[in-house]
Amino acid sequence: MKTNPRHLAIKILCQRHESGQPVDLIRERILRKTPPDNAKDTQLITALVYGVLRRQRYLDAILGMFSRHPLAKMKNLTLQGLRVGLFQLCFMDRIPPSAAVDETVNALKEARQPKWLTGFVNGMLRGIARQIDTLPDPSSPSLPPAVRLSHPDWLYQRWHERYGEEEATRICLANNRQPPLVLRVNTRFIGRESYLSQLRTAGLTPQPGLYCPDAIILSDFRGDIAGLPGYEEGLFMVQDEGAQLISLLLAPLGAEWRYLDACAGLGGKTTHLAQLLPAGGQVVAIEPNESRFRLLQENVKRLGQSGSVSVHQTTLAGFKPESGGPFQAILVDAPCSGLGVIRRQPDIRWNRHIEDLKRYQLEQLALLGEAAQLLAPRGVLVYATCSIEPEENEEVMAKFLGENPNFTVARPQALPIAARKFIHAKGFLWMLPDEGHDGFFAARLEKQ
């Protein structure tokens, strides 16, 4: 029997709401277990899930205008079904209103919901569809700013107080736009111009990156990344330009040096470092999470870097260095709130609370302390987050430097000219997500 893609979208949203787990992991798990019938269905599921998460406050405001039953007291499944249906009515012009309503109701029927409940959803959505032209526009000033911009009140208020209304609005609007796909060309195998030609031959419209010499931007690509030319051959890695800049903070790289990626994740920065290494250099990568470690291994192998990268499934605290002494350079891409990458992970805004920032700060300081002990004299320590919050960035640096006077902040030496505008007065790399890339913070520290 054909699987209703809206049913799978609602299921993903329900599990995200109940578990608080990252939506991309939930999506991957559910679609692996129940594969959609075709690529178009996969794209529709992704568009619905991520679209609902980006517009959730606005959708709830509209639903609240029409429902006599408080949204907070609705069953999770009912609320997610209403959100999916309303998102189609408001933001997916290519789907006829009748199809949006009917297919959403059918999705709830597929979930074995009682007739009275599917009737309630059907009535709500049809009533809204009849009055669609009278609904307040998503940018209407009649809506409160955090509702209009679909962010939690506490987060919008923080940004409003720190940056002012205009900048806070730009950040929120950037978070609500679907970001482009950005690739980093594996220059060990192919040059950027040659790979640009391959993509154009495949009918795509790539553009060179704005800031990084190996970056390629695919603004309109919505397909399967594994289907891009050269994926299996390891010709590229998906990586935002902001993330690509962080690896460059370790430069100049020394021949025969040993590098440690203390929080490797899926291996974006690990494999970039390996790509940049002079002859004889080695990267040691640490990742404790089992699923991320598996993907790290796969990416290192796919990019042909097994000879220069060794991977270890452990925490930094539990890591036992191999022979060779301390490391000449260490990258700590620390676990963080992720509030700089909301445009790529829209669920983050709903998963985070202000109390989380201090909790992350303690973890970040602990990681820096552990990394400092593994660093050789005159070595380089790069600290990075995908957050734009001072508790995780400037405050972490102030506390670490206060407790470790043998470290100093050093201005990056090898950033491309176009990217140097992101270096601020104190020497930190600081990028906001409204500037055409994700939000990042990084600092290059040198040990005396």
List, by residue number, the catalytic residues. 386
Residue 98, SS3 per DSSP = helix
The strands making up 207-208's β-sheet, listed across from edge to edge, are: 207-208, 215-218, 181-185, 236-238
Q: Under 8 Å CB-to-CB from 140, ≥6 apart: which residues?
A: 148
DSSP string, 370-408: HHHHTEEEEEEEEEEES---GGGTHHHHHHHHHH-TTEE
Q: Alpha-carbon dihedral of residues 269, 274, 278, 283, nearest 10 degrees?
A: 90
Give the angle subtended at the CA of 380 by the CAs of 240 and 304, to the nearest 5°: 50
Nearest to 175 by CA among 50, 84, 90: 50
415: tokens are 């950033």
Helix (H) or strand (E) holding 441: strand 440-447
Q: Are 389 and 155 in contact (CB under 8 A)?
A: no
The DSSP letter of residue 134 is: G
Cis peptide leading into 252, omega within 30 of 0? Answer: yes
Task: Report CA torsion sign: 385, 388, 392, 396.
Answer: positive
Work out the number of other CB atoms within 10 angstroms of the CB of residue 165. 12
36: tokens are 């959609």
d(CA 242, CA 422): 10
- Report the b/e string of 191-216 with b at 16+ CB within 10 A: ebeebbebbeeeebebeebebbebbb
